[in-house]
């Protein structure tokens, strides 16, 4: 008889399970902040994000579509994603009234806020794709 293996039995999964989960209100605030940040993007950047995360197009195909170099697409995706993440985290902190400092000092060094923001960062790409598909 062969021993069964489950991804749930790996140390990484056990560690993730021991970490606090985002509550529903935090998840809602995160989703709202992400949607607002997407809406605030320039149309070109929003289209690039949509084509990449929603339609699943890679850098080569996007470069062909936009008649530019692959490296330019990769850089623009990275800049846009970084801006989107930054604005989403700021919006999340504002919605949860956790900022406590001027945004110039972002992020505040509060352990609880840092844990929430770490979870939000780790799930950002999945959340972005989910919001775009909704």
Mind listing the pLDDT tens digit of every residue in the chain (134 residues)? 333 333 344 454 345 444 444 444 777 888 889 999 999 999 999 999 999 988 999 999 999 999 999 999 999 999 999 999 899 888 888 887 754 444 444 444 466 666 777 777 777 777 788 887 77
End-to-end Cα distance, the chain: 44
4 domain-assigned: no
CA distance 53 to 21: 24
- What pLDDT, on a 0 to 100 scale, did the predictor assign at position 78? 95
83 domain-assigned: yes
1 domain-assigned: no
Structural domain tally of the chain?
1
Domain limits at 105? Answer: 23-133
15 domain-assigned: no
């Amino acid at each position: 008889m062969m021993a069964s293996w489950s991804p749930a039995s790996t140390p990484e999964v056990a560690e993730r399970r021991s970490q606090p989960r985002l509550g529903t209100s935090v998840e809602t605030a995160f989703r709202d902040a992400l949607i607002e940040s997407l809406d605030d993007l320039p149309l070109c950047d929003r289209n690039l994000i949509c084509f990449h995360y929603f339609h699943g197009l890679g850098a080569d195909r996007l470069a062909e579509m936009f008649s530019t170099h692959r490296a330019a697409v990769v850089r623009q995706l990275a800049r846009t994603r970084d801006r989107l993440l930054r604005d989403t985290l700021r919006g999340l902190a504002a919605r949860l009234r956790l900022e406590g400092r001027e945004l110039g000092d972002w992020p505040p060094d509060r352990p609880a806020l840092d844990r929430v923001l770490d979870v939000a960062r780790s799930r950002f790409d999945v959340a972005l794709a989910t919001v775009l598909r909704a």
